[in-house]
Amino acid sequence: MGSGRFFPEGKIDLDQALKLLEERFVKFGQVRGRLENDQPLADEDFLKFLAELEEIHRAGTLLAGYASLNFAQDTSDQKAQSLMFKVEAVMAKLENEVLFFSLWWKDLPDEKAAPLLEAAPRHRYMLTRERDFKKHTLTEAEEKIINLKDLTGGDFLTRLYDSITNAYVYRPSFLPPGEIRDLSREELMSYVRDHRPEYRAGAYQELYRVYEKASATLGQLYQNLTLDWYYEEVVMRHHASPVAARNKRNDLKDETVESLLRVCRKKAPEVFGRYFKVKAQRLGLDALRRYDIYAPLKPAEKTFTFAQALKEVDQAFRAFDAEFADLALRVSKSNRLSALISPGKQGGAFCSSTVPGDTPWVLMNYEGHQHDLFTLAHELGHAVHSLLASNLSLFEFHSALPMAETASTFGEMLLTKHFRETSDEKDVEALSFGLLDDAYATVGRQAFFSLFELEAHRLIKQGATPSELAEAYLENLKEQFGDAVSLSDEFRWEWTSIPHFFHTPFYVYAYSFGQLLVYSLWNLYQNEGPSFVPKMKAILAKGGSDSPERILSQAGLGPLDDDFWLGGFKVIESFIPKA
């Protein structure tokens, strides 16, 4: 199994690396005089400036990635906390040194920008996007102030949230007296998939007991982060709304996101409500409780060693495409997969892709359940996406958030197909229910998270308290589940336990977008067979080099309207067994 740590001690001379980076940033600052003399800029000079800027950002991104990963492996480590703050402080200072280049490019008249844009096809999308943000860009002095203030403002508050919540320990009372011990969140949450109803209920009750106890503090953090987003993005940068700022970053039209959430709001309670009633019957329950959403159909779930998990995921990916599988295996072969649960380690799972061509890093907390295999397939799918896009420039390498979940959720579908083909009939039925559980978690749950965020941002601007936010969240759950699922009061505090709300406002609709998109892609794969493989890889190889809608249009998908999202729900409905 991958170790709990990403890096050997003392592997990097950080002070020397930061010093060299600062020297490069300062040297690039000399370009300013060349740009401000109002003389025509030769194509070759412009390309040279872009290449140097990309190399500087590449070095900075690697250092920032080092600090972030070091923090993730032990968020309670004061040295790791200090290291990350130190790197972030230097990077903010250095970003200010080269800010002039972005501002110059945005302000350049169209007739002067056009020939330079034509000469830089490798950076065309990035350069076009930069100019698209002109009306949302402040003066150089204001931008510099924001960069520096973020260190002790919003960025600090998200780090504080992580440090507080990752230090929580849980002592669930449902365990036998001799087995009661301190658990991490990952260990506690493994019981929400337990076959024993009292264990499922106990896990949630213990989780939200701890979060409710800290709700005043966590609520204040969320209030301030939300207001920080509003004042910067709406008041200062003049986005039409808080979510419009995220849509702009994702290069999605507001109406596209409105369509997604509108369809999810209407269809998710209906479709998943029908599934939850079928699941209650299979479990022998009169009605499903919120505690039972992820309950397994069978009392005992097969467990897998980590080596077995890698083998199963490899076989699933290899049945689709050999290169797909080889790229996924590169992560573990490069010793860049941390799976062991350890004290202070960041919860959940992620794939960190730093720069093009560099093998991504994957963190997860592996316990051996089948669900963990799907997490592994998901994160390795992210890695494949990054590696297929490795020929792009650093500035166009990372996908927009809605497209970022494409390879990861497709990887889960490949693993589902693999298990359906290699399991007995009872296991296949259980797998179908697991697939629907994940469809709910990724489509329905995340869409209603987004709907809560919209409401929370509105309420906080009006001065809502954490308790009032909790009441709004409970109403959100009632709309989401209707009469299909019974709710307990402690779930009103669930929103305080969702890191994305604190880290990245309105991130979560990308999950619903990505899952419904993958269902459309999966339909194409089922219909086209092997001829679909190059099409899928071409989509992933685009990385963030174009808007999501143009990338999908080139693949024959779209438009992204109500009918498109409804098509995804039809796929979900096809999985629901008859009552």
What does the alpha-carbon distance between residue 110 and residue 478 come to, in Å, rounded to a whole number? 52
Q: Look at residue 395 and tell me if it is in a domain.
A: no
Query: Is it the case that residue 10 has pLDDT exceeding 60?
Result: no
What does the alpha-carbon distance between residue 188 and residue 185 come to, in Å, rounded to a whole number? 5
Q: Look at residue 67 and tell me if it is in a domain.
A: yes
- 543-571: pLDDT as tens digits: 999 999 999 998 888 899 999 999 999 99
Confidence of residue 34 (pLDDT cuts 50, 70, 90): confident
Q: Look at residue 267 and tell me if it is in a domain.
A: no
Domain range for residue 95? 14-131
pLDDT at residue 11, as a whole number: 57
Q: Look at residue 303 and tell me if it is in a domain.
A: no
pTM here?
A: 0.86
Q: Mean pLDDT, the chain, as a whole number?
A: 92
As given in the structure block, the two tokens for residue 32 are 């300013």
- 506-544: pLDDT as tens digits: 999 999 999 999 998 998 898 999 999 999 999 999 999
Helix axes 445-461, 254-283, angle to 10 degrees: 120
* CATH number of the structural domain spanning residue 101: 1.20.140.70
State how many domains the chain has: 1
Query: Is it the case that residue 2 has pLDDT exceeding 60?
Result: no
Burial of 558-569, coded b for 16+ CB within 10 Å and e otherwise, reads bebeeebbeebb
- 184-240: pLDDT as tens digits: 998 999 899 999 999 999 999 999 999 999 999 999 999 999 999 999 999 999 999
Element (H, E) at 221: helix 215-230
Candidates 570, 575, 449; CA nearest to 512 is 449
Instruction: Look at the block and give the residue holding tokens 């808080």.
Output: 242
pLDDT at residue 300, as a whole number: 58
Spell out the SS3 assignment of 232-290: HHHHHCCCCCHHHHHHHHCCCCHHHHHHHHHHHHHHHHHHHHHHHHHHHHHHCCCCEEH
- 289-319: pLDDT as tens digits: 999 999 988 765 678 999 999 999 999 999 9
Mean local confidence (pLDDT), 478-487: 97
Candidates 151, 158, 169, 149; CA nearest to 218 is 158
Q: Look at residue 105 and tell me if it is in a domain.
A: yes
Q: Are 31 and 102 spatial neighbours (Cβ–Cβ below 8 Å)?
A: no
Query: Is it the case that residue 78 has pLDDT exceeding 80?
Result: yes
Q: Look at residue 73 and tell me if it is in a domain.
A: yes
As given in the structure block, the two tokens for residue 123 are 């950076």
